[in-house]
Amino acid sequence: MSQLNRQSNLSKQPQQRERSLAEWVTFAISLIVLLSIVVLVFSSWLKVGERPPVLVLERSGEVRQIEGKFYVPFTVTNSGGETANTVQAIAQLRINGEVKETGEQQFDFLAGGEAEEGEFIFSHNPQDGELVLRVASYQKP
């Protein structure tokens, strides 16, 4: 009987339609997707709280030497909660206490928990001296 009903519903599609199993499955999956988005938003709300950005600039990976230049890979990480804009990463290469070279890089956006990568390029070998990496500034969104 219900099978008959379903068939007639499929062909006529009346005002109050009866959902097929397939439609119920779609609905269930959709509901799960939407609810998980809402739950994730709420949980990130709780996590972010009022925590300002915490920015760390570190070396990552090996130095590459190509055509007399030294490529120093780095990672800048925002371990705080809020997003930082125009993050300014600065590297200074000091040899015998004297600043020989500087490198600078800007990152448009760094959300809480996000990391970005890049490379500083020097013409002196960083191993001959001391490499100082720091985040100099950022802008509040």
Partner 1 sequence: MSLKRRVRKNIWLNEWNDIVRGASGGFLLGTPLLYTMEVWWIGSFAEPPRLLISLLTNFVVVFLLIRTEGFRRTGKIGLIDALMDSIETLAIGAICAAIILVLIREINLATSINEALGKIVFESAPFSLGVAVANSALSGDRDGRERTSRNNLSNGQKHLSSHSKTAEINATLADIGATLIGAIFIAFSISPTEEVPMLAAAMTPPWLLATIAASVLISYGIVFVSGLTNQAKRQQQQGLFQRPLSETVMCYLVSLLAAALMLWFFHQLSIDDPWTVWLSHTIVLGLPATIGGAAGRIVV
Q: Which residues bind partner 1 (CB under 8 A)?
A: 3, 6-7, 10, 13, 15-17, 19-23, 25-27, 29-31, 33-34, 37-38, 40-42, 44-45, 48, 83, 85, 108-109, 111-117, 141
Q: Which is nearer to partner 1, 8 or 123 (CB)?
A: 8
- Cα gap 135→131, rounded to integer Å: 14
Q: Could you tell me where the DSSP H helices lie in the chain?
A: 2-12, 21-48
Distance of closest approach, residue 95 Cβ to partner 1, in angstroms: 33
Q: CA–CA separation, 7 vs 13, rounded Å?
A: 10
Q: Which is nearer to partner 1, 34 or 132 (CB)?
A: 34
Shortest distance in whole angstroms from residue 103 CB to partner 1:
20
CB-wise, 42 or 134, nearer to partner 1? Answer: 42
**Whole-number minimum distance, CB 11 to partner 1, in Å?**
11
Residues 109/85, Cβ–Cβ less than 8 Å: yes
For partner 1, give the closer residue by CB, 16 or 127: 16
CB of 129 to partner 1, least distance (A): 30
